[in-house]
Amino acid sequence: MLLSFQNALWTVPVFPSGYQVRCIRYVIKHFHQFAREQLQDSSSLGELRRTVLPMTQGQIYSFLRHHIAHWPLDSSFKLIQETWFSFIQPWRYASASTLPPDTEDDLSPPSVDSAWAHFIADNLAAYTSLLQLVLDRVLRLDLNNLFNAHMVFRVAK
C-alpha cells in the first residue's frame, strides 16, 4: 500500500520528446501528401488514399487537444503549435500541380481553395476548440517576450 502511495506522489506527467513530436508532424505531412495525390485512382491504393486521413484524424485531434492543454508553458510549445498547423493546413502540402498559380501579393492573406471545404468541415473541432485551447494558453503567457508574441502572431495569421 505504501509503495503505491509513493508512486502516486512521484508520478510526473510524461510528454513526448521534441524528436517524437517532430516525427508525428512529419507523419501528418506525409498523410496529407499521400491523400491528395491522384485522387481519381480507383485501385486499392486509391481506397487507402481516401481513408488514411479519416482513419487517423480522431487520434491526431486527441493528441493535439491533450498536448495543447497540458504542454509546459515554455518555448518547446512551438513543436506542438507547428504540428497543429500541419494538421489544419493540408493545402500547404499539396503537390505543386494541384495548387492554383500564385498571383497574389505577399500582403494579402492566403486563400483556401474550395476543394478543402470537406476537410475543414470534417475537422471543424481542430479549428475551433483547439484554437480556444491555444487562446486560453496565450492568456497565461508573457507577451513582452518576443518568442511568445511571435507565437500569437503565427496563430492570428
Summarize pLDDT for 14-58 with one digit per residue, the tens: 789 999 999 999 999 999 988 887 666 677 777 888 888 888 999
pTM: 0.78
Which range of residues forms the domain containing residue 50? Answer: 1-96+109-156
Which residues, at least 6 apart from 141, have a Cβ–Cβ distance to it below 8 Å?
73, 148, 151, 152
Instruction: Give domain status of residue 101, yes or no.
Output: no
Mean pLDDT in runs of 10 for the chain (157 residues)? 53 81 96 78 77 89 95 91 95 65 52 81 95 92 88 89
Instruction: Give domain status of residue 86, yes or no.
Output: yes
Tally the domains of the chain: 1
Instruction: Give domain status of residue 104, yes or no.
Output: no
Instruction: Give domain status of residue 13, yes or no.
Output: yes
SS3 sequence, 66-81? Answer: HHHHHCCCCCCHHHHH
